[in-house]
Amino acid sequence: MTFIEKLSAAWSANNSLLCVGLDPDSGKFPPHLQKQTDGIAQFCKAIIDATADLACAYKPQIAYFAAQRAEEQLEEICAYLREKYPHIPIVLDAKRGDIGATAEQYAREAFERYGADAVTVNPYMGYDSVAPYLEWTDRGAIVLCRTSNAGGSDLQFLNVDGRPLYQHVAQLVADKWNRNGQCALVVGATFPSELAQVRALVGDMPLLVPGIGAQGGDIEATVKAGKTANGSGMMINSSRAILYAKGEVGEDFTKAARRVALETRDAINRYRI
Amino acid sequence: MTFIEKLSAAWSANNSLLCVGLDPDSGKFPPHLQKQTDGIAQFCKAIIDATADLACAYKPQIAYFAAQRAEEQLEEICAYLREKYPHIPIVLDAKRGDIGATAEQYAREAFERYGADAVTVNPYMGYDSVAPYLEWTDRGAIVLCRTSNAGGSDLQFLNVDGRPLYQHVAQLVADKWNRNGQCALVVGATFPSELAQVRALVGDMPLLVPGIGAQGGDIEATVKAGKTANGSGMMINSSRAILYAKGEVGEDFTKAARRVALETRDAINRYRI
């Protein structure tokens, strides 16, 4: 089963476009987990168990693991996902971008070591920096296109022959890089009109959409702008808003996370039809 | 001492613009090191000891370590460099690029965990994806500008208001991002005329120049195009040609590596004046 097939099946099985981002910051954990040597793995597994019927994908952000010397805990979390929830794809958010020989190493890291179904990659170094990921024909490469951060427009909005750079990237990926249907694009939720322009350029290609929740994107506008004809086509990511949900009185962190995940999934579903 | 000061001192102390890239691929090691559990650290330390009077910087490529589950060996190599050769800067080649909160984690990885003096970063996500590295005021951020791989031109050569994207990146970094003199640029050796154009745009900003050696760039053209008025301003990288130098009869791998490093340093020096 390819990444795209697995993602499509998860959209249906959980009736969800919600991608849960795993950005574990130990300082924000409940106190009892801050002291554990495998606190990151415990925290993420608890979040996963609380949301596994609500998510279409999990997206661990590798920077958090790398900063905390926690690669082995990331391995453990990915192994847990593959074993217990094999129908939900793992997107390793690593935004890799390097020459071919080095990209081969990064592909091994993402797909062999962590067993990810897809990895985020940066387009700046061009096709041969993305091709090594596509050699893994059952996996996906999710290419940065239009990002939701303030500085995103510094380069992505530069005028290339009459239209912004990010649209060239979308076109390039759709027309040339996506030979085997393995590509997707990262397009932020903070600019729904741009999301709609990308959707118009790339057909049914899946879009990974950060910027909901802590980053403040509007769910209705995002879903309407980015969905495909059949009301799917997106992994709408929320990380911090779910992981560090403000609990009600007497509610533990997994219950709070589940409540926010459920609300977010349902808010998204309201605008899919 | 800042990254730039440390680099300038190393240029002088070793009379060298040669940066030795550490891309350890266990399969290419001498047989006795392939079997060791810390073979990567042993290999890199031996290369370092054989070349430490010839290099202006060491550049470990983190992908090789990540693919081989060898982050602890990378920590060990960086600690060894900082202790035994504290005057030679460590450039962590990681090409990171992510939103601010995530970039903060990557900065901790590079500067706190590995103790690197500088890290390579990708400009596609804009200034706020680079700013967190610059918060570490004694460290450097080396921004991808024009890369030496075949696909480098896919984006970098797109026409932005009459000139290629990579020149906009060079200008942007020189004019806006490089507030505290902490920035440098990656510009490949395979296009000497483009190297000269970047040099003309960025004054004395250091350039990290891959593409010598295994990638085939011409040393004379590279040095003439990229040097500053005082004959420095570059870290000219060679990785595979040094690490996996073809030994003469009876020569061990460290002697072969030293011979190639010496030849390369001297070939570079011939064109600096």
CA distance B199 to chain A (A): 20
The one catalytic residue in B28, B95, B224, B255 is B95
Taking a C-beta distance cutoff of 8 angstroms, is the pair A61, A93 a contact? yes
pLDDT at A191: 87
Chain A hits for B66, CB-CB cut-off 8 Å, are 71, 105-106, 109, 113
Identity of the residue in B100, B103, B149 whose CB atom sits nearest the CB atom of A125: B149
**Domain positions in chain A:** 3-269
Chain B hits for A129, CB-CB cut-off 8 Å, are 149, 151
Q: Model's pTM, two decimal places?
A: 0.97
Identity of the residue in A126, A154, A160 whose CB atom sits nearest the CB atom of B152: A126
Chain A to chain B Cβ contacts (< 8 Å) = 170
For residue range A115-133, list pLDDT tens digits in order: 999 999 999 999 999 999 9
- Regions in chain A scoring below 70 on pLDDT: 213-217
Q: CA–CA distance from A204 to each of A91, A172, B16, B111 (Å)? A: 19, 15, 53, 41
Q: Map residue A96 onto helix, strand or coil.
A: strand
CB contact under 8 A, B165 and A169: no
- A178: enclosing H helix or E strand: none
CB contact under 8 A, A172 and B156: no
Q: What is the pLDDT along chain B (273 residues), one digit of tens a residue?
A: 999 999 999 999 999 999 999 999 999 999 999 989 999 999 999 999 999 999 999 999 999 999 999 999 999 999 999 999 999 999 999 999 999 999 999 999 999 999 999 999 999 999 999 999 999 999 999 999 999 899 999 999 999 999 999 999 999 999 999 988 999 999 999 889 999 999 999 999 999 999 886 556 699 999 999 999 999 999 999 999 999 998 787 789 999 999 999 999 999 999 998
What is the distance between the alpha carbons of residues B61 and B272, in angstroms, rounded to a whole number? 27
Alpha helices in A52-176 (DSSP H): 62-67, 71-84, 100-107, 131-134, 152-156, 165-172
CB contact under 8 A, A128 and B149: yes
CB contact under 8 A, B97 and A98: no
Q: Which residues contact B251 (CB under 8 A, 6 or more apart)?
A: B259
- CATH code for the domain defined by B3-269: 3.20.20.70
Interface confidence (ipTM) of the complex = 0.96
The residue among A104, A124, A129, A161 with the most chain B CBs within 10 A of its CB, best to mutate, is A124
Q: Which residues contact A13 (CB under 8 A, 6 or more apart)?
A: A87
Is B255 annotated as catalytic?
Answer: no
What is the distance between the alpha carbons of residues B152 and A128, in angstroms, rounded to a whole number? 8
Chain B hits for A126, CB-CB cut-off 8 Å, are 147, 149-156
What is the distance between the alpha carbons of residues B178 and B196, in angstroms, rounded to a whole number? 20
pLDDT at A214: 56
Extended strands (E) in chain B: 18-22, 57-60, 91-96, 118-121, 140-146, 159-160, 163-164, 183-187, 207-209, 234-238
